[in-house]
Amino acid sequence: MGWPEVEDAQDLDTVNTVGRAYRYISPDGKRQDAATCYLHPLLDDGKHPNLHVLVESQATRILFDGNNKRAVRVEFRPNPAFGGDAAERSTVRARKLVVASSGACGTPSLLERSGVGDPEILQAAGVPLVASVPGVGDGYEDHHLSAYPYLNSLDAADTLDALIYGRMGSPEELIKAGHPMLGWNAQEVQGKVRPSDAEAAALGPQFKAAWDREFKDQPEKPMAVFTVIAGFSGDPTTVATGVPGLTMSTFTVYPFSRGHIHITGPQLDDPLDFETGFLADPGGLDVKKQMWAYKKQRELARRMPCYRGELAAGHPPFAPGSRAACVRLDDEDNGRLLPADAPDIEYAPEDDAVLEKWLRENVGTTWHSLGTCKMAPRDRGGVVDAGLGVYGVEGLRIADLSIVPRNVAANTNNTALAIGEKAADIFLGELGLSSK
């Protein structure tokens, strides 16, 4: 495919390369998360008596001083999902700051229930206006994900399927035994890729114009991320039990499409008006990215030594007589490897129509939601300023992925942690405190 292997494909410069996926597991073999790395040490060291963590609770709204619109209290309730009384309400008083950190889906809803947002949306939801900030809840972004399964010659132990589908015993037994598969996420190889100028031009004049504007002069900017997954990511009822899984996952990383998430009523349990906006950009550019990515990942899969054909249930239903139709290699084809210069599959206009329809019906989320409370000027849809302060009110800050103004070409966990650490520095400086 012309994509060389590099030691680390996760840097900010490498594009059209592939690299082995690193496994970020602690030295004792346990997975790490924000709670165990940031909160638990402070809760356990006996040196932070002013740190209190409420679990199984839900923030319902932020309350403001009526005179200067300063955030002064946070209202919360016990989570009814854990047996709490949904009608019960308690408040915590804030003398200095309230920091919202409920994520790209939770924070805009919290603000709107608190009276901060678009006046028309708040009026329709029956929430009194505290501050007009029209950008709250708009500009939702997520990476567009598609995953394609392949028939293969792998051994069952080469995939995570046995663990995922319960064929290895209970999780408790595996944890007690310290089974090494528990520290494996089945992500083996990853590559950040982009089309050539010629390939971009072939996607049409609108796409080429966007390519020239957004990508052409930024060679470090990928358009998609490919991941080889040792496992089956689809509906397990579509394959025979015990068949090893192999999946090519692709997500496009700088979407043009935008969605929104807004409240429809004043209560936490009122339904949300949530539109992902997936593949909904006016020019149809995002679906063209996915079409390009499908064709590229398929060529990559065809050139892998373990390839034995496509698992048709996870691919577009191309017509049987089409050159793009899924194949299943016979036993005598085992061990066959396509040469690097083998011609790519040809897709007729009818195939492209099938592919586009299938993508629109099957595109999924990467859980990389961001952008619903942007850091930007207020008149450009911004919700927070450079110090993470919410426009129109005092004493309220946001520290989560909702503040990100443009997408990042990566999984977003590290970005969320970086925002948290930078936010902590900002707040400590504002309050005249030290991090030590």
Which tokens hold the place of 24?
């970020």
Q: Give first-to-last CA distance, the chain, whole Å.
A: 51
- DSSP class of residue 92? E
User: Residue 330 to residues 239, 298, 327, 388: CA-CA distances in angstroms?
Assistant: 18, 19, 10, 60
Active site residue 48: no
CB of 37 within 8 A of CB of 26? no
* Angle, CA of 118, 122 and 127, to the nearest 5°: 145
Query: What is the Cα–Cα distance from 234 to 250, expressed in whole angstroms?
Result: 14
- Evaluate whether 322 touches 310 at the Cβ level (below 8 Å): no
Contact at 8 Å (CB) between 292 and 195?
A: yes
Q: DSSP alpha helices (H): ranges in 138-266?
A: 161-164, 171-177, 197-202, 205-214
C-alpha distances out from residue 40 to 32, 35, 47, 423, Å: 12, 6, 12, 19
Residue 368 assigned to a binding site: yes
Q: Provide the sign of the torsion angle of the four alpha carbons 124, 127, 131, 134, taken in this order.
A: negative
User: Which is the catalytic residue, given 143, 260, 315, 368?
Assistant: 368
DSSP state of 314: G
Which residues are within 8 A (CB) of 282 and not within 5 positions of it... i.e. 6 or more apart? none
Annotated binding residue 179:
no
Give the relative orientation of helices 285-302 and 205-214 as an angle to the nearest 10 degrees.
90
Percentages helix, strand, coil for the chain (3-state, rounded to 5) are 30, 20, 50
CA angle 235, 238, 244 (to 5 degrees): 85
Annotated binding residues, written as ranges, equal: 367-368
Residues of the binding site for FAD = 367-368
Return the active site residues. Answer: 368
